[in-house]
Amino acid sequence: MDRTFRVPLDHAKPDGETIEVYAREVTSGRSDLPYLLYLNGGPGVQSPRPLGGEGWLRRALADYRLLLLDQRGTGRSTPVTRHSLAKQGTPQQQASYLKHFRADSIVRDAELIRRQVTSGKWSVLGQSYGGYCAVTYLSFAPEGLSEVFTTGGLPGLESTADDVYRILYKTVLGKNTAHFERYPQDVERAHSIARFLRDNTVRLPAGRPLTVEAFQGLGNLLGSATGSIRLHYLLEAPFDGDQLADAFLVDVERELSWASTSPLYFLLHEASYARGEGATNWAAQRVRGEFPEFDKDDPLLFTGEMVYPSLFDTDPALAPFRETAHILAQEPTWTELYDVAQLKANEVPVAAAVYHDDMYVARELSMETARTIAGARPWLTAEYEHDGLRVSDGAVLDRLISMLRRGEGPGHAG
């Protein structure tokens, strides 16, 4: 069932401008079950569109009515696109508008929606960035929550973007090492491609320049269960004679060119770590300088979930947001996203899957947060990658539900 809600753009001004937020209600046919709100990863990525066979979805529907939220700015909610953002005026006005699209606003949307769909509390499942939002929910509106599940989504509570990237770059180095040990032939293939890109101007089929830095971005694949083998297959036959093969360029474009559908992800990725005073100032780019391994061609190392300012120069889908992105990177003041004192006094049951080798969320910070949230039950596992919720045929969600139903303590596996 489709559901739409009007919410304030700025929750501090409830009588001001409003936007629309969309949610899809999915049920097994039972109307007596409690609600489970699903908060997707991102930021700025719409909720998944259910096909019916997903294991985690089947497991959720056994116990809940599921509400899949298109977080503000995504999917069928009032969107953020190059067309809609241009209507907000100058780049500075656009940046001010986008500051209302972070986790604190998403949580306040959710609370307004909860009061419209149920007279009681509801459960929340947060995947990745959705878990960040769930921790914000625990901080500022725990009265609306009966229980919280997070999968690869416990944020650092007091860490900066710099702190996060210092950890994640090390994790990405490990992913590169594991990939090249598994597929040693890819070392020379990646080096040859990088050398060719240094010496030649190459454009992807839609016209975007393929730079070495953009090519390295394919490393974002390495954080998923099948990502390493997918990268290997992509690198199998990169050349057609003395030129890069058309089929290779098509495959690269497919993996890299999703900014047109989710520009909010690139605009607010670093801002999702910002709190209080202090600009992020392109943290991923700056911290990369502490890891010179990524600036060599031999061996060529792939990067991960890092948003660099050059993306707004080279990707046609992001070029319209260039000046706005730079303003956001220099923005000195942000709302707080977490209340540590409240989390230490938490009374809401929390179960969290923490993936030992997570390439997108720093395990060390997640475990520290799990120790801070009173009563939280973390499950540290090396059995799954960051996409464990999706690929485990319901096992990850079932484990978390069982941890709360049976009152299990902190868990470790894998």
Residue 175 structure tokens: 């992913």
Percent of the chain with pLDDT over 70: 98
Number of domains in the chain: 2
214 and 109 assigned to the same domain: no
Q: Which of 47, 105, 123, 128 is catalytic?
A: 128
Strand-pair category, 333-334 with 276-277: antiparallel
Tell me the CATH number at 151.
3.40.50.1820
* Rg of the chain on CA atoms, in Å: 21
* Burial of 271 from C-beta contacts in 10 A (0-12 / 13-18 / 19+): buried
DSSP state of 257: -
Residue 384 structure tokens: 């799954």
Of 262, 274, 270, 272, nearest to 288 by C-alpha is 270
pLDDT over threshold 60, residue 410:
no
For this structure, is 386 an active site residue?
A: yes
168 and 88 assigned to the same domain: no
Q: Are 397 and 60 in contact (CB under 8 A)?
A: yes
Of 223, 235, 230, 258, nearest to 390 by C-alpha is 223
200 and 178 assigned to the same domain: yes
330 and 185 assigned to the same domain: yes
Q: Which of 70, 104, 109, 358 is catalytic?
A: 358
C-alpha pair distances (Å), 367 with each of 15, 152, 162, 381: 40, 11, 18, 12
Handedness of CA 255, 260, 262, 268 (dihedral sign): positive
192 and 179 assigned to the same domain: yes
Angle at 90 between CA 262 and CA 79, to 5 degrees: 25
17 and 77 assigned to the same domain: yes
Q: What DSSP string runs through 172-213?
A: HHHHHHHHHHH-THHHHHHHHHHHHHHHS--B-TTS-B--HH
272 and 197 assigned to the same domain: yes
Task: Enter the pTM of the model.
Answer: 0.96
Handedness of CA 325, 91, 131, 277 (dihedral sign): positive
Q: pLDDT category, 412, cuts 50, 70, 90?
A: very low
Residue 239: CB atoms within 10 A of its CB come to 13
DSSP state of 231: H
Give residue 408's pLDDT: 58
To the nearest 10°, report the CA torsion of 61, 53, 135, 307.
-160
Average pLDDT, rounded, for the chain: 96
Of 282, 303, 334, at which residue does a domain stop?
Answer: 334
Reported as a single tens digit per residue, the pLDDT across 354-398 is 999 999 999 999 999 999 999 999 999 999 999 999 999 999 999
Alpha-helix runs per DSSP H in 319-394? 322-330, 340-344, 363-372, 388-391
Reported as a single tens digit per residue, the pLDDT across 227-278 is 999 999 999 999 999 999 999 999 999 999 888 889 999 999 999 999 988 9
Of 334, 368, 399, at which residue does a domain stop?
Answer: 334
Flag the least confident range among 3-7, 59-63, 295-299.
295-299
Q: Which of 251, 386, 387, 392 is catalytic?
A: 386
Residue with tokens 């009563």, as numbered in its chain: 375
Domain of 403, in residue numbers: 2-158+338-413
Flag the least confident range among 306-310, 395-399, 404-408.
404-408
348 and 208 assigned to the same domain: no
Three-class SS of residue 387? coil
pLDDT over threshold 80, residue 295:
yes
361 and 402 assigned to the same domain: yes
202 and 255 assigned to the same domain: yes
182 and 167 assigned to the same domain: yes
pLDDT over threshold 50, residue 110:
yes
Q: Are 269 and 101 in contact (CB under 8 A)?
A: no
Of 254, 235, 251, 250, nearest to 193 by C-alpha is 235
374 and 228 assigned to the same domain: no
Of 307, 334, 361, at which residue does a domain stop?
Answer: 334
Reported as a single tens digit per residue, the pLDDT across 167-190 is 999 999 999 999 999 999 999 999
Q: pLDDT category, 226, cuts 50, 70, 90?
A: very high
Name the strand (E) or helix (H) holding 149: strand 145-151
